[in-house]
């Protein structure tokens, strides 16, 4: 009878655990979909802003005047003279010699273009705005390069200037045995964490089955786990202090330890 009750409580516990897992998965899926929607909206806004910026740059560039010009042909003769206005496209080119007249002599060809002061001022203003924008775009990368160079020089100065001068400690920290011991401590800590989690889960399940579904009290942590936590915390603290004192600013900005930040 007791075994059946234990099995029933175990089934209830696993059902609740499965329900909590499904709820957590659905919540994470909703958050992921919401994040995807926000990213798509952000990309759409960026694309729209880029298109507007491109259109504004195109509109500020001086446009070619495609208006037609009028050409006047004057025919000079002894008995008659006439003036015939004609229209030509701006793309056509006239020859240096005039068109022949009725008596064989060339006639004068004149072309009138729209050179009003208002149009000239408008084209000059557009050209000035376009040149200012190009200068601003050229100056921005130069400013970034100057900032990067200044930051690189500052970091190099800090790395080369040693204040504490713990050379022996620097030699110990940079030795291969020290690096290997640090890697072994990190690996053993990972194994220890996995073992402790497994033991905590087993103790929690055993206490739940022992109390027959009643309100569970806090699961007691063994003393050896507390001692191991203190040992690993002490080892990591000593390692970090030794590296900071030995490397100084190289601990934060160096080529080998830049991942510490």
Nearest to 251 by CA among 177, 184, 159: 159
The better pLDDT of the pair 204, 135 is held by: 204
pLDDT in tens, 161-187: 767 778 888 888 888 999 899 999 999
Instruction: Quote the tokens at residue 82.
Output: 């006439």
Reduced to 3 states (helix: H, G, I; strand: E, B; else coil), residue 112 is strand
Residue 46, pLDDT above cutoff 80: yes
CB of 106 closer than 8 Å to CB of 99: yes
pLDDT in tens, 197-256: 998 888 888 877 777 766 666 778 889 999 999 999 999 999 999 988 887 777 776 665
């Amino acid at each position: 009878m007791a075994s059946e009750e234990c099995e029933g409580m175990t089934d209830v516990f696993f059902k609740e655990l499965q329900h909590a897992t499904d709820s957590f998965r659905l919540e994470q899926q909703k958050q992921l979909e919401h994040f995807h929607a926000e990213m798509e909206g952000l990309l759409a806004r960026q694309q729209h802003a880029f298109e507007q910026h491109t259109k504004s740059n195109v509109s500020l560039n001086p446009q070619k005047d495609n208006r037609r010009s009028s050409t006047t042909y004057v025919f000079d003769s002894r008995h008659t003279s006439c003036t015939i206005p004609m229209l030509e496209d701006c793309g056509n080119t006239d020859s240096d010699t005039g068109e022949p007249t009725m008596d064989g002599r060339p006639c004068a060809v004149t072309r009138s273009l729209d050179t009003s002061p208002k149009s000239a001022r408008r084209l000059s203003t557009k050209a000035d705005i376009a040149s200012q924008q190009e200068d601003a775009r050229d100056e921005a990368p130069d400013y970034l390069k100057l900032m990067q160079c200044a930051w690189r020089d500052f970091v190099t100065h800090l790395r080369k200037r040693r204040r504490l001068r713990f050379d022996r400690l620097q030699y110990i920290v940079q030795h291969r045995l020290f690096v290997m011991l640090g890697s072994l401590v990190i690996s053993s800590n990972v194994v220890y964490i996995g073992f402790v989690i497994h033991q905590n889960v087993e103790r929690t399940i055993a206490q739940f089955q022992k109390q027959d579904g009643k309100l569970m009290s806090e699961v007691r942590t063994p003393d050896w786990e507390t001692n191991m936590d203190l040992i690993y915390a002490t080892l990591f603290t000593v390692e970090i202090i030794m590296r900071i004192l030995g490397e100084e600013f190289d601990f934060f900005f160096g080529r080998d330890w830049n991942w510490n930040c």
